[in-house]
Amino acid sequence: MYDPVLTPSGISYERESIVKWLESGHADCPITRTPLSESQLVSNIALKKVCAILKDFKAKSSGAHDHDSKLAAPGELRRVMDDLIDAKLAVQALKEKQQELEDELTSFSESKLALADQLTQSDSNLRAMKIQRELENLGALETQRWIVLKELESDTAVLEKSRDAAAAQFDQAMAKVNCLLEARNSLPLMSADEKDMRVKRASSRVLKDRGNAAMRRGDVQCAERCYRDAIATFQPYGEPVYYTNLAIAQMQLGQFVDAIKSAKEALKINTNWIKAYRIIGSAYVRLGDTAKALAEGYGPALEISPHDQESSHWFGMLNDRLTENARRRERQEEQEAMAHPPFGAAFDRFLHESLGLGV
């Protein structure tokens, strides 16, 4: 705030904002809804001082941060450290202002006691009236200071929570920094093969993420190329998810045979990779081979994970379809056998003639 004002109901506003509110046709306090006019607004000197103090502390802390900007610290740590410093300075400023108000209230109380003594000892009505007015003015000032003090106490409580949250974030950031330092210190202890694997894995993950992004925007061909590049980059190591991602892209491109091959490559790396079995089953369904979909896809998936809902659904549906097809073939064969006897009329005639039977 730049020019805070206090209403009779004890609410502080920025002067410009509350004046605009009143000039727009309102005649009440926006919060308490009590009648209010511009003439009733009183400059909140105490709050104005607090705002000035906070602004000054902010400027000083910013200067200190600029001075230390060359220190080597991670960006996240620097940010949370700045937040923590700002929160601590703000709490300190408010507590100092609270102390000033408490001292001022103590002074008011002492002055009121002194005036009360003078009032009892006064033998002049004029003097008594003057003392009474001074007591009333002191009472009004005391009430105003109490209101401001309560607001400061509330603001301080909020800022203390912010300070504690900033401190917790700072601790978390420090923990991350310590982990990074430990990881950096452990790098020289890695073997050449392990370093090679980590570098290739990091590079391949970038390509895999590009493929995922391409899939999300619908560019399946680009995704398929990215997944192939990720697989090639991570050689001679293997990552099953790269192969199953490639298989999914191939499925969308209608390359069902290639999708089966890619999924089987994933299973060479991890024989329990459920996603690969699902892809194999789905690809065989698209190819019209229900038996292989069950035997090589959904069946093995259920053996590994009996509660896998997707595999269970497809296995049950395909198994029912296979059973129904077998029954249909049996009925068809029976109908064909009845329509076309195995020997026919010519054989009957030969049989009767050779055995001397009359036709």
* Contacts of 84 by beta carbon, 8 Å cutoff, 6+ apart: 163, 166, 167, 169, 170
Instruction: Specify if 221 maps to a domain.
Output: yes
Tell me what pLDDT residue 278 has: 92
308 contact partners, CB below 8 Å, separation of at least 6: 274, 301, 302
pLDDT (tens digit per residue) in 38-72? 888 887 765 666 566 556 555 554 554 444 433 33
The three-class DSSP label of residue 111 is: helix
Please report whether residue 146 resides in a domain.
Answer: yes
Domain ranges, residue 112: 68-183
Contact 294, 322 (CB under 8 A): yes
pLDDT tens-digit readout, 82-98: 666 766 776 677 777 77
Q: Of the candidates 183, 211, 238, which is a domain's last residue? A: 183
Q: What is the pLDDT of residues 254-272, one digit of tens each?
A: 999 999 999 999 999 999 9
pLDDT tens digit string along 146-200? 887 777 777 777 777 777 777 777 777 777 767 766 666 655 556 777 777 888 8
- Whole-number Å distance between alpha carbons of 274 and 304: 8
Bridge partner residues of 241 (DSSP): none
Residue type, 207: L
The pLDDT tens digits of the residues spanning 118-146 come to: 777 776 777 777 877 887 887 777 787 78
Q: What is the CATH number of the domain that holds 310?
A: 1.25.40.10
Asked whether residue 333 falls in the same domain as residue 237, the answer is yes
At residue 254, the pLDDT reads 93
Is residue 353 pLDDT above 70, yes or no?
no
Residues 207 and 240 in one domain: yes
Helix (H, G, I), strand (E, B) or coil at 36: coil
Looking at the fold, whether 209 and 301 belong to one and the same domain comes out as yes
Q: Residue 357: is its pLDDT beyond 60?
A: no
CA distance 290 to 299: 11
Residues 170 and 294 in one domain: no
**Segment 10-42, tens digit of pLDDT:** 777 888 888 888 877 778 888 777 888 888 888
* Judgement on whether residues 284 and 213 belong to the same structural domain of the protein: yes
Same domain for 205 and 327: yes
Look-up: residue for tokens 């590049």?
229
Q: State whether 316 and 201 are in the same domain.
A: yes
Radius of gyration of the chain (CA): 43
pLDDT of 80: 65
Q: Which residue has the tokens 């902010």?
A: 58
**Contacts with 254 (C-beta within 8 Å, 6 or more apart), sequence order:** none
pLDDT of residue 331: 79
Number of domains composing the chain: 2
Task: Mark whether 168 and 212 lie in a shared domain.
Answer: no
